[in-house]
Amino acid sequence: MSESEEPTPVTRIYALIVGIEEYDSKRQIRPLPGAAIASRRFRKWLLRNGVPQEQIFMHVSPRNSGEEAAKLQAILESIEKVRKAAAEADILYIYWG
């Protein structure tokens, strides 16, 4: 960014965060320890830096109370919400762990 450029306002930043430690699958997919914790840390970082909660779409497994499950349909719905809300020049962070 050059000195004349302004930073992107946080109102134009969106995030899709997916952290899957435990897969709900008949196939034997090994757990990915730490994925949900890392996802929560990224969300906290975004919030600390002023990104509005309603612009952060997070899906985790296992989930805590109040968190959206990491199910395919829910993730696709969040992608559609971001697509409708974000303008062409907005920033979208995608974190997949």
In this prediction, residue 67 has a pLDDT band, given cuts at 50, 70 and 90, of confident
The answer to whether residue 74 sits within a structural domain is yes
The answer to whether residue 3 sits within a structural domain is no
Burial of 81: CB neighbours in 10 Å, binned 0-12, 13-18, 19+ = middle
Which of 53, 57, 54, 52 has the alpha carbon at shortest distance from 78?
A: 57
Question: Domain range spanning residue 48?
Answer: 10-96
The structure's pTM equals: 0.83
The answer to whether residue 70 sits within a structural domain is yes
The answer to whether residue 39 sits within a structural domain is yes
What CA–CA distance (Å, rounded) separates 52 from 48?
10
The answer to whether residue 68 sits within a structural domain is yes
The answer to whether residue 83 sits within a structural domain is yes
Give me the pLDDT at residue 32, please: 85
Q: Total structural domains in the chain? A: 1
What CA–CA distance (Å, rounded) separates 51 from 63?
22
Give me the pLDDT at residue 38, please: 95
The answer to whether residue 15 sits within a structural domain is yes
- For residue 46, is pLDDT > 90? yes
The answer to whether residue 31 sits within a structural domain is yes
What CA–CA distance (Å, rounded) separates 33 from 48?
25
